[in-house]
A and B are shown apart, each in its own frame.
Chain A
Amino acid sequence: MDTAGKRILMAKTGLDGHWRGPTVVAKALRDAGFEVIMIGMARPEEMVQASVDEDVDLVGLNIGGHIDVAVRAINMVRESRPEVPIFVGGVVPPHAKRKLEALGVEVYPPGSQLPDIVAAARRLTGLA
């Protein structure tokens, strides 16, 4: 399916510096034809700004720390771009995963396979 023109913003909520996961995911999404805008370690307001400026169709967050930091970021992005879906990955323990899923956010913890993440990106951007 044609992914041309679909844009995904990727950001890290934490300052922990683990770049392995998001980099591998970004590459897989780019290989699948998405345009990926990586802003790295960003504060919620920076994510909001980038999601508006870059006019993205999907936001992917890498979470390396506390769930409350992610929830704050998600709420702020939603406030300004309510139509944009959000999915997250990273070190998300089961209790945090349940909390995020209750907010309607898809969660891809360690061990998730890239084809599943790419499939989710297609679905969330209305391609599948």
Chain B
Amino acid sequence: MNAKNNKDRVWKSASGLPLQKFYSEDDIPQEQRQRLASDPGMAPFHRGAHPGGYRTKPWRIFQLSGFGKPEDENERIRFLLEQGETGFIMEHDRNTGDHCYNVDHPDVVARREDVGLTGAVMQSVRDIDICMKDLPLETSFGHAGGAVVQHAPFALAGYWTVARHRGIDLARLPGTGQSDFFLTYLGCVTKQQIPTAAGLRFNADIMEFCDKHLPRWVPVSIAGYNGADTGLNAYQELGALFANSVEYLDEIKRRKTMPLENAARACSGVNFRASMDLFEEASKMRAARLMWQQLLERRYGITNPKVANLRIHCVTAGSRMTYQQPLNNIVRGTVMALAAALGGVQSMGVSGYDEALSIPSEHAHQMSVRIQQILQEETNIEAVTDPLGGSFYVETLTAELVERAWEFFDEIQEQGGFLATLDSGWLHERAAENQSEDFRQQESGEQVIIGVTDHKDDISPFEVDGFMGVDDAYDVALERLHEVRRTRYEAGASRALKELETVCRDGSNIMPAMMDALEAEVTLGEIGDIYRSVFGDWATPIQT
């Protein structure tokens, strides 16, 4: 065990900002002091997206969920909704989904037992229909899956097609699909993926399609989380996230196919990570809102308050959940959720206490919901918006994060922009540097993780052994794939597939053809094959 020696310690925030013993009014930068006069719900919005805060709308309890067969996932989602979850996330199996492979692809067959461990296998609209059985589509905010860029058009079109079959007017359908560059090209680099330029096109296509047909849908949700949990620190996460926003907005501006203000609205629902540095993370959410308002006004001349008020979904840091003494993670989840709530986020997911062991068990999932309910119902945290506003420390930290984040944003622009830093691996290098530094600090004793670096005795009477889902996901998926191929109207499917290929090649919006393809029961792997032949493969800048 490391001897605790606070006297000689160099105190700094998790991102490395030097910290004083205490803060006084004079420490708050002049510019930030002037902002103290603005209330929550007023530009520049650092104090909150809405004046009523959680009194008007409690944060959404929104847990990542999914495994096994579509019916297993449906059962888990309904369990979570019964427990009090107020939105739902429909995770697709990552072996098949992220790669747009059917289960009979050789790369999947070689890992058949992995199938269904990270989400339900959904290869056609029939599977998606099973997964969505009895879900409250119109009254809940649903996440259709499709976090990975090349998978998003399929996952979205599948969800929308099922909704339409149920007689729901798409214009009234709320939800998101994410389609996140951070996950796809930085956090979880897949074995095969369309290049970033094609990914940018897909996302702009989704934004255009939603602008016409699904005004309540959040078409893309940039997830800084996936950069942060890969190693980016708080201000790097902020700077990189807005560098990503700029790529989307500039693309729409270039296309001139929808009002820029609508595009900004489409990009104004984002995702951040909340980690363990309580005040830095709360300040980060405040900094994010401020930066979005600044970005829209300065770069695009957009000041409409309904667009400039950034809405944030926040997920607690999975990487901070420890394998050792897993029940300690319930405390970590609570602290990180508190940071997010103090920062005024609109939506939250708390990692399972068994995160470092497996996908969440039913009990771990329930605890993630309970943590949020206890915070909402028992702590009075909902009563007052921006409870940290005016704190000398938090206002200073907010301003410092904004300043450093814009510097990092500028560095990314100097590298040629966000996409260029993904293509070159520059952003991966920044993340990897921090990862190595983290390990160094753990070895030197500068960074303590209870149960891991220190206090290693575990006396918990509860064994947590990791949840392994079901064991028939692969077999059932294979059967269903054969069934679809055998029973669908083949001429219609092949016509739709051909049309999709034409659209992929000619550059027009991919989504109408994708909707037709899902309707015609075209399968995921067939769509992936088209992508691979039209777009080729992203040249991964890192060895994975």
Q: List residues of A whose CB falls within 8 A of some B CB.
A: 12-20, 22-24, 26-28, 38, 40-41, 43-45, 64-69, 91, 93-96, 109-111, 113-115
Contacts and interface: CB of A to CB of B under 8 A. Distances in A.
Interface stretch (B91-99, B397-405, B523-531): B91-99
Contacts of B231: 20
Contacts of A14: 95, 111, 114
A35 B452 CA distance: 28
A65 B323 contact: no
Given A24-B436, A24-B439, A27-B436, A19 B542 contact: yes
Given A23-B432, A94-B357, A113-B442, A16 B465 contact: no
Given A93-B358, A93-B466, A17 B442 contact: no
Given A38-B543, A94-B463, A16 B94 contact: yes
Given A16-B188, A95-B466, A111-B452, 17 more contacts: A12-B544, A15-B98, A15-B108, A15-B114, A17-B188, A22-B544, A23-B544, A24-B436, A26-B543, A64-B114, A65-B113, A69-B112, A91-B357, A93-B468, A94-B463, A95-B465, A113-B443
Nearest to B231: A20
Contact of A111 (B113, B323, B463, B542): B323
A70 B336 CA distance: 33
Contacts of B118: 16, 65
A17 B468 contact: no
Interface string B440-481: 001100000101110000000001111010000000000000
Nearest to A15: B95
Interface string B354-383: 001110000000000000000000000000
B113 A69 contact: yes
28 contacts: A14-B95, A14-B111, A14-B114, A15-B191, A16-B94, A16-B118, A17-B190, A17-B191, A17-B544, A18-B187, A19-B189, A20-B231, A22-B544, A24-B432, A26-B543, A41-B544, A43-B107, A65-B113, A65-B114, A69-B111, A69-B113, A91-B356, A93-B466, A93-B468, A94-B463, A109-B356, A111-B452, A114-B443
B484 to A, nearest CB: 22
Nearest to B324: A111
B113 A68 contact: yes
B110 A96 contact: no
Contacts of A22: 544
A28 B191 CA distance: 24
Given A14-B114, A65-B117, A69-B114, A110 B323 contact: yes
A17 B189 contact: yes
Interface string B144-182: 000000000000000000000000000000000000000
B323 A109 contact: yes
Q: Which of A38, A65, A94, A115 has the most CB of B within 10 A?
A: A65
A15 B107 contact: yes
B200 to A, nearest CB: 20
A13 B463 contact: no
A69 B532 CA distance: 26
Contacts of A41: 191, 544
A23 B429 CA distance: 11
A67 B465 CA distance: 13
A38 B543 CA distance: 7
A111 B98 CA distance: 27
A114 B435 CA distance: 12
Q: Which of B106, B357, B452 has the most CB of A within 10 A?
A: B357
B74 interface: no
A19 to B, nearest CB: 4
B446 to A, nearest CB: 14
A110 B451 CA distance: 12
B351 interface: no
